[in-house]
């Protein structure tokens, strides 16, 4: 059964003097959040960083050719 998730994708800036980051929001439906993230970022290193059971949020860290990214999926 597919579940709905709010997705927050953050791309961190590599410049030490710039703390801003790009942030993107979307909603998706999937029956497997881990597989969704693995397929979306299949060419990069992805690790499940945290799971907040109370908030139903999965947080993944992505290493994309030296660029740090994070994607959070919260069940809605």
| Domain assignment of residue 57, given as a range | 3-75
CATH of the domain at 16: 3.10.50
Tens-digit pLDDT profile for residues 36-62: 999 999 999 999 999 888 889 999 999
Confidence of residue 14 (pLDDT cuts 50, 70, 90): confident
Q: What is the pTM of this model?
A: 0.86
Q: Strands of 21-30's sheet, edge to edge?
A: 21-30, 3-12, 67-75, 57-64, 45-52
pLDDT value, residue 55? 87
Reported as a single tens digit per residue, the pLDDT across 16-39 is 776 778 999 999 999 999 999 999
Q: What is the pLDDT of residue 29?
A: 98
Rounded distance, CA 44 to CA 33, Å? 17
For residue 38, which phi and psi values (nearest 5 degrees)?
Answer: -60, -40
> How many folded domains does the chain comprise?
1
**Residue 45, pLDDT score:** 95
């Amino acid at each position: 059964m597919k579940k709905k998730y709010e997705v927050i994708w953050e791309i961190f800036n590599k410049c030490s003097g710039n703390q801003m980051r790009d942030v993107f929001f979307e909603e998706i439906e999937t029956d497997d959040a881990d597989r969704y993230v693995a397929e979306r970022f299949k060419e990069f290193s992805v690790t499940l960083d945290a799971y907040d059971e109370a908030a139903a949020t999965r947080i993944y860290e992505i290493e994309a050719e030296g660029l740090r990214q994070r994607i959070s999926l919260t069940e809605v």
